[in-house]
A = this chain, B = another copy of it.
């Protein structure tokens, strides 16, 4: 493969000069520059990023660690990250941790080994210990969608507590009194924040918080199904379920239907997170929708600002608001009220004409 030396030879200059031309540094005579650029074009020369990175100690790459790229929420976050990064000629490599601490650890070490300039991570544990690899080496880091205890690091998250509270308030307003919560792992701040929001809504309405109605598992469909199943079996007077993310909601739907109950007639369901495209199509699931794309953009922008040395002095904690999108799974046919914002096209309160199942 052609190297900078080949280009230099062809242009009749030294490699340094070629380097200067490529990095558009000063002190190159216009005519020399043209000669070099011509040589580059003629040879189809593409610089070796690896060598460049070794010497300059910057790779222009970011590592993005998230639970599962298959979940539309994370996909959208990833897209936001990539778009922001690409605008500044940064490369993003995506790692699926599957919320597995060991996989996460492996990928973090990989990110350090690869000398990623920065890391964006939806940590699977809110304890800072898991991020020691990054902290020790002072790798610029932005945490997405999670809070971290014990490390004051940049983070970008959705308003989990507020979103959960709004969803449960909505259920309460519809007359529900026995509302269960199916959340993620207790070690995840996001899961706990959503439980907090759930409890707060109940407390504010003067309703008791029944611990037996709060279940925790993985942020996964199978966990959602299992927990919903046991809830339905054990709590006979249950009338509504709050699912702490979209995957859990899917599982819960399966469990409810499998138990011979109907949604929303017998069991109302609300969920955190959405299904982007699908929700647009099937006006079904009432959800607190996080601005996933913006979260990705913001996180990447913050990280890139730090890399450019132009970031804010103190670590930032950016909390983006959620939209409450009222659809049919909670039984409400009403437009959203004062506290809520809705997707204009989907909150018609009516099924799409033509689809009757």
Which residues does A use to contact B, with CB under 8 Å?
Answer: 1, 44, 46-51, 53-54, 59, 61, 68-70, 72, 75-76, 78-79, 82-83, 91-96, 109-110, 112-115, 136-137, 221, 246-247, 250, 253, 256-257, 260-266, 275-278, 280-284, 328, 350-357
A49 lies within 8 A of B353 (CB) = no
- Report the separation of the CA atoms of residues A106 and B318 in the bound assembly, to the nearest whole angstrom: 32
5 A-B pairs closest in CB distance: A351-B357, A262-B354, A278-B278, A93-B93, A282-B282
In the assembled complex, 6 residue pairs joining A and B whose CB atoms fall closer than 8 Å, in A order, are: A44-B136, A61-B93, A75-B75, A262-B353, A264-B354, A282-B284
> What is the count of identical protomers in the complex?
2
A354 lies within 8 A of B256 (CB) = yes
- Report the separation of the CA atoms of residues A75 and B96 in the bound assembly, to the nearest whole angstrom: 12
A72 lies within 8 A of B72 (CB) = yes
- Report the separation of the CA atoms of residues A51 and B55 in the bound assembly, to the nearest whole angstrom: 9
Given A262-B353, A264-B354, CB of A277 within 8 Å of CB of B276: no
- Report the separation of the CA atoms of residues A70 and B47 in the bound assembly, to the nearest whole angstrom: 31
B284 lies within 8 A of A281 (CB) = yes
B354 lies within 8 A of A357 (CB) = no
* 17 extra A-B contacts, CB within 8 A, seeds A46-B109, A50-B53, A328-B355: A47-B113, A48-B54, A48-B115, A50-B50, A69-B75, A70-B79, A78-B94, A91-B110, A221-B277, A246-B277, A250-B280, A257-B352, A281-B284, A282-B284, A283-B357, A356-B356, A357-B357
Q: A19 → chain B, closest Cβ, in Å?
A: 14
A50 lies within 8 A of B46 (CB) = no
A277 lies within 8 A of B277 (CB) = no
- Report the separation of the CA atoms of residues A276 and B68 in the bound assembly, to the nearest whole angstrom: 14
A250 / chain B contacts, CB cutoff of 8 Å: 277, 280-281
Q: A120 → chain B, closest Cβ, in Å?
A: 14
Q: A77 → chain B, closest Cβ, in Å?
A: 10
For A265, the closest partner residue in chain B by CB is B354
Query: Which residue in B50, B82, B83, B353 is a CB contact (below 8 Å) of A257?
Result: B353
For A82, the closest partner residue in chain B by CB is B96
- Report the separation of the CA atoms of residues A72 and B73 in the bound assembly, to the nearest whole angstrom: 11
- Report the separation of the CA atoms of residues A114 and B68 in the bound assembly, to the nearest whole angstrom: 25
For A328, the closest partner residue in chain B by CB is B357
B50 lies within 8 A of A354 (CB) = no
A262 / chain B contacts, CB cutoff of 8 Å: 353-355
For A114, the closest partner residue in chain B by CB is B49
A352 / chain B contacts, CB cutoff of 8 Å: 257, 357
Query: Which residue in B95, B110, B275 is a CB contact (below 8 Å) of A278?
Result: B275
